[in-house]
């Protein structure tokens, strides 16, 4: 009997220890998010690093921006992620006010298949619009020749390739085309997928890249990171200051910097066609979507701390994964937005 009692005591002690441990796990904060696939590599790196540092566990499903927005709307996640900022109409569909936090910048590059052309092709906004409108159909068109002096352009037909799947990459590209051409804006517009006037569609970056690599005379747009990792020939694009700029992480960050005055007013403003002289014009930001008023104060605090961390230590690792980091003025915009976060009406972060 005594032995039994002792056993019982040990057992209950063990149970207590287990319970205690369970409690510690429960005390640990778990955040869930869902959305964009484009920033997934950097996000999962961030979540790993942040988990190691603070113990906060962040689970992220990269189901696409559209899915992320739906989940934010349904309130099934603590934050969403989208490559496109929500339009005013979409914001109104949301049950509560949503804040946007840009995390990193990316660029969309034009890759082409012209075996005889060895130096980087230089393209103007007008020629890009012309090609994707179906008005410029031959590579030796004089408008392309004009911006490529000394380059022998083949008399081959141009095959414009676009993404067939809805994507943030498409959104940045057509937002750019809409910004530089009123005709594009009117006839086609900007979205994650659009009704393309010409060309063929490939699924994903790899689908577009595969078509471009296979087909002589093809031109297509892919993410900068994808083009870098696969060492594609990419076009230099003339920006609004008249300079032909190579797409790099630095010129993408410069695009965000050039647009920072507009971003301070509304962080959702597209950074395409940035006025900075060294900016690569086809650039965009990717966002975290967070409800301004949070229900759970503990989670809200953890989320705010994470966003703050991602603006400092997080930015340091961005370039190692081929994402362009945010320039200081945009980080400052995020800091200001963070102060707007509340939980049941009370500010989540104390003013500095």
Partner 1 sequence: MSQAKVRRRGVSADEVYKGLLAAAAALVFVIVALIVYEVARGAELSIRTIGWKFLTQTEWDPVADKYGALPYMYGTLVSSLLALIMAVPLGVGSAVFLAEIASRRVGSIVSFVMELLAAIPSIVYGIWGFFVLAPWLRTFIEPWLIAHFGFLPLFRGFPFGIGMLNAGIILAIMIVPTIVSISREVLLATPGTLREASLALGATQAEAIGVALDAARPGILGAIILALGRALGETMAVTMVIGNTNRISLSLLDPGATMSSIIANEFTEATGDLYLSALIQIALVLFAVTIVVNALARALVYFATGGRRDAAGAA
Contact residues toward partner 1 (CB under 8 A) are 63-67, 69-70, 84, 89-90, 93, 157, 159, 164-168, 188-196, 199-203, 207, 210-211, 214-215
Nearer to partner 1, 209 or 338 (CB): 209
Residue 152 CB neighbour total at 10 angstroms: 11
CB of 186 to partner 1, least distance (A): 10
Shorter beta-carbon distance to partner 1: residue 95 or 157? 157
Q: What is the CA radius of gyration of the chain?
A: 24
- Helix or strand or coil: residue 275? coil
Looking at the Cβ atoms of 206 and 313, the one nearer to partner 1 is 206
Nearer to partner 1, 69 or 302 (CB): 69
Give the Cα separation of 313 and 78 in Å (integer).
Answer: 22
Least distance in Å: CB of 12 to partner 1? 45
CA dihedral for 164, 169, 174, 175, sign (positive or negative): positive
Nearer to partner 1, 84 or 324 (CB): 84
Nearer to partner 1, 90 or 268 (CB): 90
Q: Which residues pair with 289 in a beta bridge?
A: 80, 100
**Nearest approach, Cβ of residue 11 and partner 1 (Å):** 42
Closest distance of CB 303 from partner 1, Å: 23
CB of 116 to partner 1, least distance (A): 18
One-character DSSP codes across 308-341: HHHHTHHHHHHGGGT-BPPPHHHHHHHHHHHTT-
d(CA 96, CA 93) in angstroms, rounded, equals: 9
- CB of 261: closest distance to partner 1 in angstroms? 27
* Element housing 179 (H / E): helix 168-180
């Amino acid at each position: 009997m005594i032995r039994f009692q002792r056993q019982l005591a040990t057992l209950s002690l063990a149970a207590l220890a287990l319970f205690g441990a369970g409690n510690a796990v429960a005390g640990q904060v778990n955040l869930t998010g869902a959305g964009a696939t484009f920033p997934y590599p950097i996000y999962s790196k961030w979540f790993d690093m942040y988990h190691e540092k603070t113990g906060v566990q962040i689970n992220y499903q990269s189901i696409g921006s559209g899915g992320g927005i739906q989940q934010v709307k349904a309130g099934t996640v603590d934050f969403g992620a989208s490559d496109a900022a929500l339009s005013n109409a979409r914001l109104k569909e949301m049950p509560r006010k949503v804040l946007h936090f840009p995390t990193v910048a990316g660029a969309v590059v034009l890759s082409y298949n012209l075996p005889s052309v060895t130096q980087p092709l230089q393209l103007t906004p007008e020629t890009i619009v012309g090609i994707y409108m179906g008005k410029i159909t031959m590579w030796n068109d004089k408008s392309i020749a004009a911006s490529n002096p000394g380059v022998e352009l083949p008399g081959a037909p141009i095959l414009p390739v676009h993404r067939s799947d809805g994507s943030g990459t498409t959104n940045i590209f057509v937002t750019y085309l809409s910004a530089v051409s009123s005709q594009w804006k009117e006839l086609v517009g900007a979205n994650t997928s659009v009704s393309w006037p010409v060309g063929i569609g490939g699924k994903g970056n790899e689908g577009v890249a595969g078509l471009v690599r296979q087909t002589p005379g093809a031109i297509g747009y892919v993410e900068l990171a994808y083009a870098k990792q696969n060492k594609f020939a990419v076009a230099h694009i003339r920006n609004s200051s008249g300079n032909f700029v190579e797409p790099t992480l630095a010129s993408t960050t410069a695009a965000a910097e050039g647009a920072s005055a507009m971003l301070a007013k509304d962080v959702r403003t597209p950074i395409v066609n940035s006025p900075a002289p060294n900016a690569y014009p086809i650039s965009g930001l990717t966002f975290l979507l967070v409800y301004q008023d949070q229900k759970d104060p503990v989670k809200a605090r953890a989320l705010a701390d994470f966003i703050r961390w991602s603006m400092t230590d997080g930015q340091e690792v961005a370039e190692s994964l081929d994402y362009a980091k945010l320039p200081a003025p945009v980080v400052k915009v995020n800091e200001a937005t963070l102060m707007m976060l509340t939980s049941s009406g009370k500010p989540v972060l104390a003013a500095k």
